[in-house]
Chain A
Amino acid sequence: MSVIAPKFRFSEFLKSITDNLFWIIILVTLIGLPVIMIVLLFVDLPVYQGELINPFLAFSWMFHPELSLPLIKSFMITDFFRIAVFPGFGFAVLLATSVIFIERKMLAKLQLRVGPFYCGKIEGILQLMADGIKLVTKEIIIPAKADKPIFILSPLMFVGAAAAFVALIPVAPGWVVADIDLGLIAVFAVIGFFPIITVLASWSANSKYPFIGGIRALFQMVSFEIPLILSLLGVVILTGTLNLSEIVASQASFPWIIFLPVGAIVFFIAMLAELERIPFDLPEAESEIVAGWLTEFSGMMYGLVQLGSYIKLYAFAALFVVIFLGGWNGPMIFPPLEEELILEGKTIGPITIQTPGLPIFSMEFFSGVFWFILKTAAVIFFILLPRGVFPRVRIDLLLDLGWFKLIGLTFLNIFIALALLYAGVFGPGGML
């Protein structure tokens, strides 16, 4: 007979439950509710049904399911929500962490091993959390002769630049943090920050290997930015706009990859180089220069750079989807919601939903996000795949590829775009 808890007593079990309840109630009333109240006092609250909501009203509505729905909806259209949660940082971090996990599992399957397996009951799903806790609790070591302010700031700047990149990506119709007319130029401006941050990080570390890695990163990123920018020119010529949302909207019937496959291939290769993924991971070539420009980072500083690079990976994959694969466009696979559910509520079997406006999102939104995530995942898969197949290239091949072959191909791509335009296939009064 096995004994699970040898000193188990029911009375003590009850006591522990009531104890916990007691402390939860005390803490919520003394700390939690005042904090919510204080936050509400400083947040701009929306106008609902013709009246300005004050914090006290919002506070009382919060615990009323019927009344809290419009509050949530109004919160969802605030800038804070867009920046921090849905199309912005939170969504990107969620996708980036799942990319890390999927990469480890996929690479493991490719290499005939199991990968993360024990942490968490299902296929090691908690491994990332364990790694995160490890990184957070590790000591941060700063080299004695490092330029401390810049050295400490550079991982933050890296994550910041990656998040700025994410802010420009339209995920679903109308769901974009910064919908600006010169969106593509803004993307290039943000990409231009990464080599500077890399060089700052490597130079401020005041160590030899980070220095070589930083110089390599500078070479690589600068020489691949030109084909990266030029390869998108074809799409700009055909659509006539720099706004990313409009570029997506222009692909309602067909994605640009059908007409501009050369540009897509060049963009993909340049993207791998910008991301320092495996065939082009020279700045982090471990057998030559330890970890390149990341050598002196430790603990959470390293974790931040890794997080930033995976957010950057997601952002580049999303940019590829937006420009070449048609973004959120795709067949509606979810049936649209019935009118009465939205307006009045509905009775489905035993469950009675009588709250009007319960669906927070429309089904068009769901479909758009679904297609966007599906396409992004496919692109990310192809970004991750070379890691299991290719060795690292050498810097002469890299520069040769960047300066001669890819730039040549981008000009070919531009000529294709111009030919399509002048032949009257696209453009004003075109066939399509």
Chain B
Amino acid sequence: MSTEKDSEQQEAPAAEKKQVPAKLDEQLPKFEKDLADKVVAKFGEKTEVAFVKPDRIRINVKKDNIKEVAEFIRDDLGFDHAESVSGVDYPEDKEIEVVYHLGSYTDPQLSKQILTLATRAPREDDPKPGNDSTHLPSLREIFYSVEFHERECFEMLGVYFDGHPDNRRLLLPEDWADLPPLRKDFSIKGR
């Protein structure tokens, strides 16, 4: 609950990066901090712990490293499935963020925890889904459960997942020819 006040005071955009408290002091919950420290100890500069809250950890990773970080999280930390994969569009940063929420069924200690693994892909103003630079490595081989979520993310935001066996449309109609609808520049009529 302590981070809430911090966040309300700050007003800068994309604060999640800046919000990283340099003072990872004792206020933070111990168990979660230990988990985050393990990731930092292994990967160091490659990862960035965005926040540590009770039961919630968020780690930002570059897209080149996401596979090894995910593998480490599965094998050494014990998170075994993905709860959701959400894409967030940031047109001002020219980036699309893909957020994996990872949980654990097998480890009773981790059952309360949700580890948020976020990565960013470059964004193009004139998207051609599948044929432009908006690519990310797929985590399907590591977390099988992301399969349908990544398909949804592909059609809704135009992020192509390399290595995904089945990059097809899921929810949208087969003849959808407009922008990916969850991008910010796709606007609803009358709003």
Q: Does chain A touch chain B in the assembled complex, meaning CB atoms less than 8 Å apart?
A: no
Which residue numbers of B lie inside 8 Å of A, CB to CB? Answer: none
Which residue numbers of A lie inside 8 Å of B, CB to CB? Answer: none
